Amino acid sequence: MALYETPEEPSDGLTIDESAAIRLYTIEWDEPHPSLYSMLNHALMNDHREHLRPYFKYMKLFLTALAKLPCVPLLTIWRGAAKNMSEEFLPGTPVIWWAVSSCTTSLTVLENNMYLGETGDRTLFSIEAINGRKIRAHSHFVTEEEVLLLPGTHMIVQSQLNPAPNLHIIHLKQVIPEEMLLEPPFEGAYLYPKTKRRQWYRKKRSIIPISLLTAILIAAVIVGSVLGRRSPTSMFFVHQVDYAKVKTSIAALMDDNNYVDGNYGPLFVRLGWLASGTYSRFDSTGGSNGGCIRFEPQCTWPVNKGLSIARDRLQSVYHDHPGLTYADLYTLAAVMAIEQMGGPTVKWRHGRVDYDDGKKSPPANRLPSASQGAQNIREIFSRMGFNDRETVALIGAHSVGRCHTDRNGFEGQWTSTPTTFSNEFFRHLLEDTWQERHWQGPKQFEDVKTKSLMRLPSDMALIQDPEFKIYVIEYANNGSRFAVDFADAFEKLLELGVDFPSSY
């Protein structure tokens, strides 16, 4: 996967293997398997160095890649831990971090509770770094401003602050050790900035107060902890969102006898699906992150017509739960709708952020076209990283809901139970006889027997294409298999393009 994501000509003069080594380090592996960064850092921090032996070849490649990257200029970077570490970092004491330490230059990540934890003791490190390596151009998470500190980073504790209950802020300053703790991976490699003023970093300076920026952060954290309210302009608050209560709030909005079929569930599924289905693995743009579907131009795309109804319906949930992002809300609503309509439990995790406008909206032609055939379907879903099985499973979302002429021009329901999740979509598609409907609207199909069910041209492509049809037959005959495959594929869809916290 890391090699697959690596361009043929990586930046910074790295080889493909070197760039892929960094990318491999950043990838979060599926449970129950521990990720590479976790296993490697566990070995680096172990007193028995033989634990590192299995990683020697990878470490050589990984450290060579990092050493080739330019040192970042002197700057403050951040790292969080969900525990109290103040007793281990007393002011004036030297510390050595033996692991590869992932930090960030962007305070926006502190909006996300996953970095510091939502409850209990938390420690925030403010680090004056001199030789960090920015890895964004070689990371699996291309929008994440991640900086890696090399193993053996030597620092001096400058000061501590405890601005709020259970919150500890520790100010560290990196120094160049008299004796190098990490051997350069190749001749000519430089681990610290190339400068004749190197001794500047070794000068003993008086301990200075936390920077103004940190002071602002502290004040925001205190206010956020006390008031528990969202500021429309602040990006510093660390909110605690009770997602169990969010789910309850969403569930309470599903049923409404005054809405189509008495249930908003199908519309919520459509909102989450279309918010996520814009992702491209080729440039890592699009997807649910940012919540751009609520902004122009994305909200005005014809394919998204009618979704404002779902967004308006969910607005009260957003206001009732400070710290909740629209991007998380829209995807969680889709997950809750599937479950409420009798479908499988789809794994979901929070961590999506909201953008301030629609400037990062992807191109308008990325979503599937209802009027196209198998070639278009395969191109669209392959761009997102889905195989044929996953593609057919995701189109199985047509087991719920209906088409509206005032939204996409098509009309009718796919199944006899449009608010119940099942494999009925595949059973009717395979077993019924379909004919083109003669009407004033766009080309669509109806079942010959009752003329009460409809199919889009893209639906019919699933039985016209031999490879797709294999999975239509399987799902028509095995509803349990469909439910499992849909849950896995839908989870993957909702997470495309999201930089979930992994190594901070």
Neighbour tally for 258: CB within 10 Å: 5
Least confident of 213-217, 428-432, 460-464: 213-217
Token pair belonging to 14: 């790295």
Q: pLDDT-based confidence at 188, cuts 50/70/90? A: low
| Mean pLDDT of the 372-384 span | 96
**Whether 378 and 464 share a structural domain:** yes
Q: pLDDT-based confidence at 221, cuts 50/70/90? A: very low
Q: Are 80 and 122 in contact (CB under 8 A)?
A: yes
Q: pLDDT-based confidence at 116, cuts 50/70/90? A: low
Specify the amino acid at residue 460.
M
pLDDT greater than 80 at residue 225: no
Q: Are 460 and 437 in contact (CB under 8 A)?
A: no
**Whether 42 and 79 share a structural domain:** no
**Whether 433 and 464 share a structural domain:** yes
Token pair belonging to 91: 């002011």
Of the chain, the percentage scoring pLDDT greater than 90 comes to: 56
Backbone angles phi, psi at 404, to 5 degrees: -125, 130
More reliable by pLDDT, 44 or 203: 44
Helices and strands: H and E segment counts in the chain:
16, 13
Angle of the 265-276 helix axis to the 479-495 helix axis, nearest 10: 50
Output the pLDDT for position 109: 58
β-bridge pairing 167-174 and 122-129: parallel
pLDDT greater than 60 at residue 57: yes
Output the pLDDT for position 164: 77
Q: pLDDT-based confidence at 152, cuts 50/70/90? A: confident
**Whether 111 and 223 share a structural domain:** yes
**Whether 78 and 153 share a structural domain:** yes
Specify the amino acid at residue 476.
A
Token pair belonging to 415: 């199944």
**Whether 89 and 152 share a structural domain:** yes
| Mean pLDDT of the 15-33 span | 85
Q: pLDDT-based confidence at 193, cuts 50/70/90? A: low
Q: Mean pLDDT over all residues of the chain? A: 85
Task: Please report how many Cα atoms fall inside a 13 Å half-sphere around the Cα of residue 94, on the Cβ side.
Answer: 10
Output the pLDDT for position 184: 72
Residue whose C-alpha is closest to residue 210's, from 76, 73, 74: 76
In a domain, 241, yes or no: no
SS3 17: helix
Token pair belonging to 197: 């003023």
H or E stretch covering 94: strand 94-97
pLDDT greater than 80 at residue 349: yes
As a three-state string, the secondary structure of 311-343 is: HHHHHHHHHHCCCCCHHHHHHHHHHHHHHHCCC
CATH code for position 429: 1.10.420.10
Q: pLDDT-based confidence at 113, cuts 50/70/90? A: low
Those residues whose C-beta lies under 8 Å from the C-beta of residue 269, and which sit 6 or more positions away, are 334, 337, 338, 397, 400, 401
Place of tokens 């709020």: 164
Instruction: Please state the length of the chain.
Output: 504
Backbone angles phi, psi at 453, to 5 degrees: -115, 155
Least confident of 2-11, 191-200, 361-370, 477-486: 191-200
Output the pLDDT for position 208: 37
Distance of alpha carbon 301 from alpha carbon 43, whole angstroms: 50
> Which residue, 69, 92, 118, sits at the end of a domain?
69
> Which residue, 12, 35, 69, sits at the end of a domain?
69
Neighbour tally for 420: CB within 10 Å: 15
Q: pLDDT-based confidence at 376, cuts 50/70/90? A: very high
In a domain, 473, yes or no: yes
Looking at the structure of the chain, the number of domains it has is: 3
Neighbour tally for 140: CB within 10 Å: 19
3-class SS shares of the chain: helix, strand, coil, % to 5? 40, 15, 45
pLDDT digits (tens, 9 = 90+) for 229-267: 333 333 333 457 899 999 999 999 999 999 999 999 999
Output the pLDDT for position 31: 64
Distance of alpha carbon 361 from alpha carbon 364, whole angstroms: 8
How distant, in Å, are the alpha carbons of 278, 468, 474 from that of 374?
18, 8, 18
More reliable by pLDDT, 195 or 59: 59
Q: Are 166 and 122 in contact (CB under 8 A)?
A: yes
| Mean pLDDT of the 440-446 span | 97
**Whether 9 and 141 share a structural domain:** no
H or E stretch covering 248: helix 243-251
Output the pLDDT for position 180: 65
pLDDT digits (tens, 9 = 90+) for 268-322: 999 999 999 999 999 999 999 999 999 999 999 999 999 999 999 999 999 999 8
Token pair belonging to 240: 């605690």
**Whether 380 and 476 share a structural domain:** yes
In a domain, 154, yes or no: yes
Cα four-point dihedral sign 53, 57, 61, 62: negative
CATH code for position 161: 3.90.176.10
In a domain, 403, yes or no: yes
Output the pLDDT for position 33: 66
| Mean pLDDT of the 82-101 span | 88
In a domain, 142, yes or no: yes
Q: Are 134 and 276 in contact (CB under 8 A)?
A: no
Q: pLDDT-based confidence at 212, cuts 50/70/90? A: very low
Q: Are 288 and 331 in contact (CB under 8 A)?
A: yes
pLDDT greater than 70 at residue 5: yes
Distance of alpha carbon 339 from alpha carbon 247, whole angstroms: 11
Task: Please report how many Cα atoms fall inside a 13 Å half-sphere around the Cα of residue 273, on the Cβ side.
Answer: 27
pLDDT greater than 90 at residue 503: no
Distance of alpha carbon 48 from alpha carbon 33, whole angstroms: 23
Q: Are 161 and 218 in contact (CB under 8 A)?
A: yes
Output the pLDDT for position 449: 96
**Whether 28 and 147 share a structural domain:** no
SS3 154: strand
Those residues whose C-beta lies under 8 Å from the C-beta of residue 282, and which sit 6 or more positions away, are 383
| Mean pLDDT of the 113-127 span | 70
Which residue range is the domain that position 215 belongs to?
71-182+205-227
| Mean pLDDT of the 36-47 span | 82
Q: pLDDT-based confidence at 127, cuts 50/70/90? A: very high
H or E stretch covering 477: helix 466-477
More reliable by pLDDT, 185 or 339: 339
H or E stretch covering 155: strand 153-164
Place of tokens 């308008």: 364
Distance of alpha carbon 266 from alpha carbon 487, whole angstroms: 16
Specify the amino acid at residue 480.
S
Output the pLDDT for position 204: 39
More reliable by pLDDT, 36 or 488: 488
In a domain, 323, yes or no: no
In a domain, 500, yes or no: no
**Whether 15 and 156 share a structural domain:** no
Neighbour tally for 73: CB within 10 Å: 9
In a domain, 446, yes or no: yes
**Whether 118 and 105 share a structural domain:** yes
**Whether 26 and 51 share a structural domain:** yes
Q: Is the pTM of the predicted complex or chain greater than 0.75?
A: no
